[in-house]
Amino acid sequence: MRLQMEQLIELKNKWMASHITDAEYPTPLSEKGLSLYQSYLQQLSHQPLPTLSAQTNNLSLYPVDCHPLTIRYALVLASKWENESEKEALIEYLTQIMFEPSSPAQLFVGFFKGKPAACGMIYSDSVQGDLITDVHALPLPNQQALIDEMTAHLAERCQAGDILVES
**Domain CATH code at residue 120:** 3.40.630
Q: Is 80's pLDDT higher than 60?
A: yes
d(CA 129, CA 161): 7
> Which residue type, as a one-letter code, is found at position 115?
K
Q: Which helix (H) or strand (E) holds 166?
A: strand 163-166
CB 148 within 8 A of CB 55: yes
d(CA 80, CA 97): 18
CA distance readout (Å), 11 to 45, 46, 79, 127, 154: 16, 14, 25, 11, 19
User: Tell me, what's the pLDDT at 161?
Assistant: 56
Which range marks the domain in which residue 61 is found?
A: 2-166
Does this model's pTM top 0.75? My answer is: yes
Residues in CB range of 110: below 8 A, 6 or more apart: 59, 60, 61, 62, 116, 117, 118, 119, 120, 137, 146, 149, 150, 153
pLDDT in tens, 88-141: 999 999 999 987 778 999 999 999 999 999 999 999 988 878 889 999 999 999
**If we measure between CA atoms, which residue out of 140, 146, 143 comes closest to residue 56?**
146
pLDDT in tens, 30-64: 999 999 999 998 887 777 666 665 567 889 999 99
For residue 159, give the 3-state DSSP assignment. coil
Bridge partners (DSSP) listed for residue 47 = 165
- pLDDT (average), residues 64-70: 93
How many domains is the chain partitioned into structurally? Answer: 1
- pLDDT (average), residues 137-162: 86
